[in-house]
Structure 1
Amino acid sequence: MSVHKSKVDWAERCPIRDVLERMGDRWSMLVLLMLNDHQTMRFSVLKNAIGDISQRMLSQTLRRLEQDGLVLRTAHATVPPRVDYSLTSLGESFMQPMRQLLNWADENHQLVRDARVAYVPPPKHEAL
């Protein structure tokens, strides 16, 4: 038996780590914010709204968010094909508490940046 626990074991035992690990990536929150603000978006509109995300990364992020039940992908049988993305009710419920965190970040961003500039790290001690 291995001494180390697998990631799956931790995910089952720690819902905070499991959910926030996914939401803490570079793109998930931006995608969720865009969908929250616009209700339904096509892939290309979403990509343009975010700006610096690659097509491949947006596809992967949307797929993971869909897998987690936060985003709904709706394919329309049209020519050319059209796919819309929107938040599910679970995604909408996630955004309610996240809005408070985002508001805090907006209000305190400059204070955090100032603290980083003013921070003086403790002196490094030489090994004995």
Structure 2
Amino acid sequence: MLTTGGCPKNILSIKDALEALEGKWKLLILFTLSAGPRRFKQISKEVNGISDRTLSKELKSLEENKLVTRAVHDTFPPTVEYAITPHGKSLETVMEALHYWGLAHRKEVIGK
């Protein structure tokens, strides 16, 4: 880690990243959308255990952070589709690293 006089350098950038991805759902939503655009109910089914209210809140936050786009299609009833942005796709290496770390952690701590 880069340090300056014993303090982490650029700690604000880490804080910004953690704030954009905070909570237990955002990375799971991004992982789901990395496979392609999804409608709200599709995301809800794939991210097991998330409530509709929480999913809506998390999608709005991801959209504010320019990690997800929301497209409303001119159909009846209107179809809303969410997709990961190029900025959101830049997290794929982070998600892959977390995947492998999670496997090792499960083996080390949980024993499975």
TM-score range, shorter chain: 0.7 to 0.9
Q: Secondary structure at the match of 1:86?
A: strand
Amino acid of the structure 2 residue aligned with 1:111: E
Q: Higher relative contact order at CA 8 Å, sep ≥6: structure 1 or structure 2?
A: 2
Structure 2: give runs of 5+ residues left out of the alignment. Answer: 1-10
Q: Which runs of 5+ in 1 are unaligned?
A: 1-12, 115-128
For the residue of structure 2 that corresponds to 1:32, the secondary structure is: helix
Distance 2:95 2:50 in 1: 21
2:107 to 77, 89, 110: 110
RMSD of Structure 2 on Structure 1 (CA): 1.5
Q: Which residue does the alignment assign to 2:23?
A: 25
Specify the code of the residue in structure 1 equivalent to 2:81: D
1:35 is matched with which residue?
33
SS of corresponding position for 1:30? helix
User: Between Structure 1 and Structure 2, which shows a larger proportion of strand residues?
Assistant: 2
Q: Which runs of 4+ in 1 moved over 3 A?
A: none
TM-score when normalising by structure 2: 0.82
Q: Give the structure-1-normalised TM-score.
A: 0.72
Q: How many residues align?
A: 101
Amino acid at match of 1:104: W
Query: What is the aligned partner in structure 2 of residue 80 from structure 1?
Result: 77
**Higher radius of gyration, 1 or 2:** 1
Provide, for residues 55-90 of structure 1, a one-character-per-residue CA deviation record: whole Å limited to 9, x for no partner: 110000000001001001111011011011111000
| Structure 2 counterpart SS, 1:14 | helix
Q: CA deviation at 1:20?
A: 1.3
Q: How much does 1:48 deviate?
A: 1.1
Which structure has more helix as a fraction of its residues? 1
One-letter amino acid of the counterpart of residue 65, structure 2: D
Q: Percent identity?
A: 34
- Deviation, 1:97, is 2.6
Structure 2 SS opposite 1:19: helix
